[in-house]
Structure 1
Amino acid sequence: MPELVLPVSVEAPQERVWAALTDWRSQGRWMPATDVEVVTPAEEGVGVRLAARTGVPLPWRRGRHLGVLDTMVVTEWEPPRRVVVQHTGRIVRGPGIFELTPTAAGTDLVWTERLHLPFGIVGRLGWPLVKPAVVLGFRISLRRFARFAATYAG
């Protein structure tokens, strides 16, 4: 199972970074070509279900993308330190782990994805080819998140 571990330093207090990170509906402001919907009445805590759509925006269908549907459920909730979402979709599967640590300059965030690759042997053989693009996408998202969280007002 491939694992990606990507850190970023955020110039903001841990509580603000937590609030920005767990504002699920706002993830599209820092994840390129993504919109997120909360599909449970509750918006925080274990059991929250999310649906993220990532891909090319369809101009004639506001908020929709031609791409991947990533369904998730929050399985761990330890504010303001750690949240784990379990990806439950057909293509994206496995835990996504976000861990926050306060620092003198703000907060360090480590985003870990433990990926269950789709498509069997084809997925395992293709992973080395797509990994650089996946890592680049995560790094872009983290840089955008650091800017977003630094000025997050809720």
Structure 2
Amino acid sequence: MIEVVERVDVVAPAAVVWAAVTDWHKQGEWMLGTRVRVEEGDGRSLGSRLSARTALGPLGFTDHMEITRWEPPVSCEVMHSGRVVRGPGGFTIEARGVSRSTLVWWERLTPPMGALGVLAWRVTGPAFRLGIRHSLRRFADFAESRT
């Protein structure tokens, strides 16, 4: 299992951070190389299905997800069920007073292709983590601009 946990502090109330992070159609404005679509449901309730296309030029994959926990403005969890990304993930928002929050992004993924997938993760994992950190810094700017 691959576990990734990253945090970013945001100068915005939890409700604003929640609205920004769950604005699926705009996630591509801050998440590197990714476009998210609501495929089924309203994207704001249990059972809603999302797809996230992540690509760099012609190379990419689609991450299929179903919302399995929806507790605004605190927690959202999804189950990833794509070929490349599989397992639970989500985020929580920790209020830090009335005007500050921390977004905690987490993934607990099962690598595809057994031992080969584990080896591939050892090679790509550091870049993945850097990409998430960079994206979360962009997210903080994105959310703060909404206040």
| TM-score of the pair, normalised by structure 2 | 0.94
Shift of residue 125, structure 1, vs aligned partner? 2.1
State the identity as a percent.
48
Q: Which residue of 1 aligns with 2:117?
A: 123
Secondary structure of the structure 2 residue equivalent to 1:39: strand
Runs of 4 or more consecutive aligned structure 1 residues displaced over 6 Å after TM superposition: none
Matched residue, 1:80:
73
User: What SS is found at the alignment partner of 2:43?
Assistant: coil
* Structure 2: tracts of 5 or more residues without a match: none
SS of residue paired to 2:91:
strand
The alignment status of 1:100 with 2:115, answered yes or no, reads no
CA distance in structure 2 between the partners assigned to 1:127 and 1:91 by the alignment: 11
Q: Distance in 2 between matches of 1:37 and 1:119?
A: 26
**Superposed displacement of residue 120, structure 1:** 1.0
| Aligned residue in 1 for 2:139 | 145
Shift of 1:130: 1.2
Structural RMSD (CA): 1.4
Aligned residue for 2:141, secondary structure, equals helix
The residue type paired with residue 38 of structure 2 is V
Counterpart of 1:132?
126
CA shift for structure 1 position 152: 2.3
Within 5 Å, give how 1:56-67 maps onto structure 2.
56-57=56-57, 66-67=59-60
